[in-house]
Amino acid sequence: MVEKIGINAGKVWTILDETGRMNVKDLKKTSKLTDKDLYAAIGWLAREGKLSLVVEEKDLFVALD
């Protein structure tokens, strides 16, 4: 499971590196990850200090630090 989360974190990181800041809804569509896999990958990257998470109105935005 840890390996899968790491692979998905790499996928999320690559998408954000190419596109820049995204809301989680669009990131899910682009990555084609399930909610569980996407949030695990975001958590992994956030724990490593590689992401910024910002809530604007009702949307959660993610960007690389």
- pLDDT, residue 2, reads 92
Given this model, what pLDDT does residue 12 score? 98
Low-confidence ranges of the chain (pLDDT < 70): none
| CATH architecture designation of domain 2-64 | Orthogonal Bundle (1.10)
Straight-line distance from the first to the last Cα atom of the chain, in angstroms, rounded to the nearest whole number: 25
* Residue 60 burial (10 A CB sphere; 0-12, 13-18, 19+): middle
pLDDT of residue 50: 96
**What's the confidence (pLDDT) of residue 44?**
97
pLDDT at 53: 96
For residue 43, the model assigns a pLDDT of: 96
Strands (E), 1-65: 22-23, 51-56, 59-64
Report the pLDDT value the prediction gives residue 40, as an integer from 0 to 100: 97
